[in-house]
Amino acid sequence: MILASSYRSAGRRATERSIGLRSVSSAGFLSSQSGQGIAIAALSGGLLWLVWIYGNGLRDPRYFDGWVLAGGMSLQLGFHIATKTAMLSPKLAMRWRHFHVFLGYLLIAAFISHSNFTLPDTSFEWALWASFVLVTLTGVFGTYLAWSLKAKRGIDERIGYDRIATRRAELAQEVHAVVVTTDPVAAAFGLPAQPYDAWIMDLYTNHLRDFFQGPQNLTAHLIGSQRPLKRLTDEIDKLSPYIDRQGQEKLNAVRTLVVEKDRLDFARVYLGLTKGWMFVHVPVTYALIVMAILHIFVVYAFSSGDW
Amino acid sequence: MRSPEWLRSVGLAQSETWARPSSARDRFAIVLALVTIVGLATLFVFSKGTSFLMPGPLASAHGTIEKCSTCHTKSGSGQLSWVRGLVAADSHADSKACLTCHKMPETAFNAHSAPSDVLQQSTERLTKIAVATPQPQSARAQSFAFPTMDLVAGGVTCATCHQEHQGVNFNLNKISDEQCRSCHVVKFDSFDGNHPTFDNYPFKRRTRIVYDHAGHFGKHFPEVAKKDAAKRIPETCSTCHNSREDKLVMAVESFDKTCSTCHLDQITGKERVSGPKGIAFLSLPGLDLESLKKKNAAIGEWPDASEAALTPFMKVMISRNARARALLQTVDSLNLQDLSTASDEQIEAVTDLAWEIKSLFYKLISDKASDALGDLNIGSGAKLSPALVADLTASIPRDVIISAQQQWLPNLATEMASRQVTSEQDRDGWSTVTKGSPIAVSASPAPSGESDPVQAAASVTPDVSGGADTAPAAGGEWSDTATAASDSSGDSSPDSGTDGGDQTASTDTSSSNEPDSDDDTAANEAKKPVKFDPPACVVRVLGQCLVSNGSEGGTAQPKGAAGKTDAAKSKAANSNETSSADKMPPAMRAGLRDVMQAADADVTRANAKAAHGATDSGRRMVVAENQPASKSAGQSDDLLYPTEEELREMKALNAGGGAAAGPPGVTGKASTSNAPPEAGATIDAEASAGVPTARSQTAASPVISIESTVDAESWADYGGWYRQDFAMFYRPAGHKDKFIYSWLFLTGPQALKAEASPAGAVFDYLTNKDAQGSCTKCHSVDDIKSKGRLVNFAPLSIESKQGRFTSFVHEPHFGTMDDRGCLTCHTLEKDRAYLKSYEQGNPQSFAANFGAVKKDLCQTCHSSTKARQDCLLCHKYHVNDAITPIMTTKVPTQ
The reported pLDDT for the residue numbered A161 is 79
Please name every residue paired with B875 in a beta bridge, in sequence order, or none if there are none.
B806
**pLDDT tier, A10 (very low <50, low <70, confident <90, very high otherwise):** low
Dist CA B298 CA B415 (whole Å): 11
Contact indicator for B32, A284 with CB cutoff of 8 Å: yes
State yes or no: cis peptide before B196, omega within 30 of 0.
Answer: no
Q: Tens digits of per-residue pLDDT, B13-67?
A: 444 444 444 678 888 889 999 999 999 888 888 877 777 888 888 999 899 988 8
Average pLDDT, chain B: 71
Q: CA B606, CA A2: separation in Å to the nearest integer?
A: 176
In a domain, B462, yes or no: yes
CB contact under 8 A, B158 and A305: yes
Compute the distance between CA of residue B184 and CA of residue B178 in angstroms, rounded to an integer: 10
Q: Binning pLDDT at 50, 70 and 90, where does residue B261 land?
A: confident
Strand partners for B781? B791
DSSP string for residues in B389-417: HHHHTTT--HHHHHHHHHHH-TTHHHHHH
What is the model's pLDDT at position B374? 82
Three-point CA angle B159, B163, B166, nearest 5°: 155
Position B99 in a domain? no
- Decide: A275 and A161 in contact? Cβ < 8 Å: yes
pLDDT of residue A305: 67
Domain hosting B352: range is 279-688
Q: Which one-letter DSSP state was computed for residue B728?
A: E
Residue B134 has pLDDT above 80, yes or no: yes
Nearest to B482 by CA among B529, B565, B426, B555: B426
Among B556, B534, B558, B538, smallest CA distance to B547 is for B538
B13–A283 CB contact, under 8 Å:
no
Strand partners, B241: B252
b/e per residue, B225-246, with b = 16+ CB within 10 A? eeeeeeeeebeeeeebbeeeee
Nearest Cα to Cα of residue A131 among B20, B40, B47:
B40
Residue-wise pLDDT for B694-729, tens only, equals: 343 444 555 566 777 888 888 888 899 999 889 999
Asked whether residue B526 carries a pLDDT value surpassing 70, the answer given is no
Residue A120 DSSP one-character state = -
pLDDT in tens, B184-219: 999 999 999 999 999 888 888 899 999 999 999 999
Q: How confident is the model at residue B859 (pLDDT cuts 50, 70, 90)?
A: very high
Task: Return the closest-CA partner of residue A98 out of A39, A177, A57.
Answer: A39
159-198 in A: which are within 8 Å (CB) of B? 159-161
Identity of the amino acid at B653: L
Instruction: Tell me whether B12 touches chain A (CB under 8 Å).
Output: yes
Greatest alpha-carbon pair distance for chain B in Å reads 145
For the residues B606-613, what does the mean pLDDT come to? 38
3-class DSSP state of B549: coil
B308 CA to centre of own chain: 27
Q: Using CB atoms within 10 A of its CB, is residue B768 exposed (0-12), middle (13-18) or buried (19+)?
A: exposed
Does residue B365 lie in a domain region?
Answer: yes
> Which of residues B598 and B368 earns the better pLDDT score?
B368
Q: What is the pLDDT of residue B693?
A: 36
The CA distance from B728 to B408, in Å, is 12
Chain B residue numbers with beta carbons less than 8 Å from the beta carbon of A301 are 72, 74-75, 82-86
Separation of alpha carbons B223 and B216, rounded Å? 9
State what percent of residues in chain B have pLDDT above 90: 28
Q: What ipTM was predicted for this assembly?
A: 0.73
What is the C-alpha to C-alpha distance for residues B202 and B345, in angstroms, rounded to an integer? 58
* Whole-number Å distance between alpha carbons of A305 and A197: 85
Residue B544 falls inside a structural domain:
yes
Question: Residue A175 burial (CB < 10 Å; 0-12/13-18/19+)?
Answer: buried
Q: What is the pLDDT of residues A241-259, one digit of tens each?
A: 888 888 888 889 999 999 9
| Closest listed residue to residue A145, CA positions, set A231, A267, A8, A299 | A267
Local confidence band at A303 (pLDDT 50, 70, 90 cut-offs): confident
Strand ranges for B386-431 from DSSP E: none
Our measurement of the distance from residue B87's CA atom to the centroid of its chain's CA atoms, rounded to an integer in Å, reads 50
Neighbours of B190 (CB within 10 A): 15
Residue B856 has pLDDT above 70, yes or no: yes
- Which residue among B13, B68, B71 places its CB closest to the CB of A149? B13
pLDDT in the model for residue B748:
92
Q: Is the pLDDT of residue B383 over 50?
A: yes
End-to-end CA distance of chain B: 90
Nearest to B116 by CA among B91, B141, B152, B147: B152
Mutate to test the interface with B, among A54, A304, A306, A307 (most CBs of B within 10 A): A304
Tell me whether A157 touches chain B (CB under 8 Å). yes
pLDDT of residue B798: 73
The mean pLDDT of B775-788, rounded to a whole number, is: 91
Phi, psi of A206 (to 5 degrees): -80, -30
Whether A146 has its CB under 8 Å from any CB of chain B: the answer is yes
* Residue from the list B6, B12, B54 with its beta carbon closest to the beta carbon of A122: B54
Q: Tell me the residue type at B861.
A: C
Task: Report pLDDT for A169.
Answer: 92
Distance CA B475, CA B569 (A): 13
The residue type found at B496 is S
Render pLDDT for B68-93 as a digit per residue (tens, 0 to 9).
888 988 887 777 788 888 887 788 88
Please name the helix (run of DSSP H) or strand (run of DSSP E) that holds residue A265, with its range, or none: helix A245-301
Domain membership of residue B849 (yes or no) is: no
Per-residue confidence (pLDDT) for residue B154, from 0 to 100: 85
CA distances from B604 to A266, B601, B644 (A): 143, 5, 10
pLDDT at A114 over 60: yes
> Per the domain annotation, does B474 fall within a domain?
yes
Q: How many domains does chain B have?
A: 1
Check residue B816 and give its pLDDT: 83
- pLDDT tops 50 at residue A200: yes
Distance, CA of B139 to CA of B145 (rounded, Å):
10
A35-90: pLDDT as tens digits: 888 999 999 999 999 999 999 998 999 999 999 999 999 999 998 888 888 777 88
B645 contacts B651 by C-beta, under 8 angstroms? no
Tell me what pLDDT residue A93 has.
86
A127 — pLDDT class (breaks 50, 70, 90)? very high
CB < 8 Å to B7, chain A: 32, 36, 98, 101-102
**Listed residue (A211, A264, A257, A265) closest to A15, CA to CA:** A257
How many Å apart are CA A263 and CA A215, to the nearest integer? 11
CB nearest A306 (choices: B15, B151, B165): B151
Q: Residue B22: inside a domain, yes or no?
A: no
Q: How far apart are CA B739 and CA B730, in angstroms?
A: 9
| CA dist B719 → A184, B50, B550 (Å) | 146, 69, 34
Q: So what's the pLDDT on residue B357?
A: 93
Taking an 8 Å cut-off on Cβ atoms, the answer to whether B37 and A158 are in contact is: no
Is A165 within 8 Å of A157 (Cβ atoms)?
no
CA distance A296 to A116: 17
Residues of A in Cβ contact (< 8 Å) with B151: 57-59, 306
Query: CB contact, 8 Å: A20 with chain B?
Result: no
Determine the straight-line distance between the first and last CA of chain A, rounded to whole angstroms.
81
Residue A5 has a pLDDT of 58
pLDDT at A273 over 90: no
Residue B355: pLDDT band by 50, 70, 90 thresholds?
very high
Sorted by where each begins, the domain ranges of chain A are 2-18+158-270, 26-156+277-301
B351 or B680: which leads in pLDDT: B351
More confident position, A176 or B379: A176
Sort out which chain B residues have CB atoms less than 8 A from A132's CB and list them. Answer: none
Query: How confident is residue B650, by pLDDT bands cut at 50, 70 and 90?
Result: low
CA B306 from chain center: how many Å? Answer: 31
- pLDDT over threshold 90, residue B744: yes
| Short-list B461, B460, B464, B439, CA closest to B451 | B464
**For residues A190 and A215, what is the distance between their CA atoms, to the nearest angstrom?**
40
Q: What's the sign of the alpha-carbon dihedral B407, B413, B414, B420?
A: positive
Within an 8 Å CB–CB cutoff, is residue A122 touching chain B?
A: yes
- Render B720-743 in DSSP notation, one character per residue: EEEEETTEEEEE--STT-HHHHHH
Share in percent of chain B as helix, strand, coil (round to 5): 45, 5, 50
Three-state secondary structure call for residue B417: helix
Phi and psi of B411, rounded to 5°? -100, 25
pLDDT band at A156 (very low <50, low <70, confident <90, very high): low
Instruction: At B640, give phi and psi (nearest 5°).
Output: -75, -15
How does A232-241 read in b/e, with b if 16+ C-beta sit within 10 Å? bbebbeebee
Amino acid B728: pLDDT = 94
Taking only residues 99 to 138 of chain B, the set having a beta carbon closer than 8 angstroms to any beta carbon of chain A reads: 138
Element (H, E) at B279: strand B279-283
pLDDT digit string, tens, across residues B137-174: 999 999 999 999 888 888 899 998 898 998 899 999 88
Are B313 and B345 a contacting pair, CB within 8 Å?
Answer: no
